[in-house]
Structure 1
């Protein structure tokens, strides 16, 4: 890579960062192909600003697991008003955050039981929920075993990268 190409790439990345801020985006990814074996793949992201409860994310992809609880109660009721006032769920050590921007689904298909409910015991790797991104259903697994203490998103909610989805203790 020549000095001119390097300088142009730095300028390009700075322009992407400005575009990210100007349009209030949380993540931007671009791939530039220069030649057959020469390309630049850039991902610029920032931590989203404090978000409203109910619009937050999870972990990594995994195979679907059996539903732990047959409850399909709305997730919004899972956050007590006293805790929601000054508590940032993203700072909780048991927070599971979204690995991507997408739409949350609490069950495998409409009408089926929810994957989780508050108070449910889960094992490491159990599916917590699904985040749909670009027509792909991504199962979000539990990073550890524990009990679901809070569900911070609802079925059909849009989530951002890094937003907390669930609290496991």
Structure 2
């Protein structure tokens, strides 16, 4: 491959960026072969900031339970137990940034990206979420050890669903 930057390539990349924006996509990847030893690989992506899911405000009316807290410390203990039982509330939880299908390995019959007990580094691919025919690699948000994997290969996943625990 040569590292030539031509005006046509720049125009092509700009067109891809416009296509990304105009069609509300998050990523486009294209490979152009010009010849035997000459090609252009382009991956255009944009960072997507997700807002809190709409159901979150609906949880606020459930707050009257602490109003009955004058009964003693019993009101505080179950809330703590619920937080510990819910993997999404775990401080080491890695959650899905999108709705899609989980793939634990890069291709069929290949070993999984990670398994329980593996040490991972920040940015290392943990799994793939396929959304709208696009394979989105989910990176480790921090270095640590995989303590739990909460999803199965080829399972559907929702936005914000816990995928695994890294401590």
**Shift of residue 108, structure 1, vs aligned partner:** 0.3
Match of 1:124 among 122, 125, 130: 122
CA distance in 2, matches of 1:141, 1:120: 14
Relative to structure 1, the CA distance from residue 89 to residue 44 in structure 2 (aligned partners, 3 Å threshold; closer, same or farther) is closer
Name the one with the larger helix percent.
2
State the 1:47 CA deviation: 4.5
| 1:149 alignment partner, one of 125, 147, 150 | 147
Quote how far apart the aligned CAs of 1:45 are.
3.6
Q: How far is the alpha carbon of 1:44 from its aligned partner?
A: 8.8
TM-score norm. by structure 1 comes to 0.51
Dislocated runs of 4+, deviation >2 Å: 43-48
Partner in structure 1 of residue 47 of structure 2: none
Aligned residues: 93
- The two structures have a TM-score, normalised by structure 2, of 0.52
Partner residue of 1:46 out of 20, 42, 54: 54
Q: Give the gaps of 5 or more residues in structure 1.
A: 1-30, 32-42, 49-85
Task: Check whether the contact 1:98–1:161 (CA below 8 A) recurs between aligned residues.
Answer: yes
SS in 2 for 1:90: helix
CA distance in 2, matches of 1:130, 1:109: 10
Give the superposed CA RMSD: 2.4
Structure 2: 5+ residue stretches without partners? 1-23, 25-50, 57-83
The answer to which structure, 1 or 2, has the higher relative contact order (CA under 8 A, 6+ apart) is 1
